[in-house]
Amino acid sequence: MTNHRATAQDELPTPDLSGAFPGPFPVSPHTDHVEAGILRWLDKFPLPVEPTSLRTLYNITGQGVSRAVPTADRDSLILFANLFLWLTAFDDVHGEAAAQHDPTELKLHVRELCGILADGEVPPSDRPFAAALGDLLKRFRARATPAQYLQLAERLRANLGGIVWEAQHLPAPESVALDTYSTMRPDTVFVRTVMTAAQIVLGYELPEPQRSSAPVRELETSVSSLAGWVNDLASFKREARQLGKNPLSLPTLLMTEHGVDLPTAFGLAARMCEEQADIARARMTELSASGLAPLTLHAQALEHITHSYIWHIDHARYRP
C-alpha cells in the first residue's frame, strides 16, 4: 500500500460537529488570569520546553481549560491549567518523536513519576518534571476526596503508560490494531484525566452506582473517543511532518484496515467523529433531564470538556 503523506494533501475532510455542539462555547471570565498563573508556576517549576513551544503550550492550555471548566473559580482554573501544561509538556519533551531516539530515558522518567504517584513524595531528584508533579499532587490532594485523589493518580499513571505505549509503536504504526488503538487513545489524549480533574475543581462527585451506570459509561466513552479522534485529524499533518511518515493515528489505521487513501480515511474518521458527537449529545440530554444533581453537573461538565477539545483543534499548535 502507498504510504500517503499528510504534507501532500491540501484539503482533507473534517467532521461537522455543529449539530451536536453548536458554538459559541462558554469561556471563563477568569481567562486573562490563567496564563499569568501558569507563568508564575513555571517560575517556581521551570520545565525544559523550548521558549517558542512553551508560549504556544501555555496559550492553548490556558484557553483550553477556560472552556473545559468555565464555571470554576480563578485558583481552580490555574491549578487545572498547571496540571495539563505539565502533562502535555512531558509528552512533548520525553514522548512522541523524542522517545524514538532514547526510549530508555522515557522509561526512567516514567518509573520515577509513577513512584511519586504511588506515595505522593518527591525523592531527591534533579528532574524538573518530578518536582512539579509533587507540587501538583499536594495541591490536588488538598481539594479532592480520598476517592477522587486515588482516581486522579490512577488516571495519571495511565497517561504515563499511554505515552510509553505510543512511543513503542511509533516506528510501525500500521501494525497496531484499530480496536487496540481505540482503547488506548483516551489515555494518550488525557481526556479521562480531564474528566476526573474537572470533578475535583468543580466540587462534585458521582456516587459509585451513578458512575458505573450505562448512560454515564456511554457518555464518557463517546466523549473520550471524540476527543481522541478530532485531535488525530487536527494533528495529522503536523505529526507526519515531524516524523517523516504517517503517525500513529486514526487515519493511518483506517488506511491500513480498509486499504484506502488518506482523504478517504479522513472521510471515514470524520463520520466516526460525527457519530460519537450524536451519541454524546443524546446521553447529555438524558442525564440533564434526570433531575439528579450529580448527574446533571456531570453532563454539563462533559459538555464543556467536549467544547474544549473541539475548540483546541483549530489552535496554532496543530498547524504544520
Task: Tell me which amino acid residue 166 is.
Answer: E
Furthest-apart CA atoms within the chain: distance in Å: 53
DSSP conformational letter for 70: T
Kindly report the average pLDDT of the chain as a whole number.
91
Q: What is the pLDDT of residues 21-77, one digit of tens each?
A: 998 999 999 998 999 999 999 999 999 998 888 888 988 999 999 999 999 999 999
Task: Give the Cβ contact number of residue 60 at 10 Å.
Answer: 19
Contact 106, 164 (CB under 8 A): yes
> What would the mean pLDDT of 226-239 be, rounded to a whole number?
94
**Spacing of C-alpha 9 from chain mean position:** 26
Whether residue 4 is predicted with pLDDT greater than 50 in this model: the reply is: no
Cis peptide before 209 (omega within 30 of 0): no
Task: Say what percent of the chain tops pLDDT 70.
Answer: 94
pLDDT at 100: 63
Q: What is the pLDDT of residues 118-131, one digit of tens each?
A: 987 777 667 899 99
Question: What's the rounded Cα separation, in Å, for the pair 90 and 92?
Answer: 5
Q: What is the pLDDT of residues 298-319, one digit of tens each?
A: 999 999 999 999 998 888 777 7
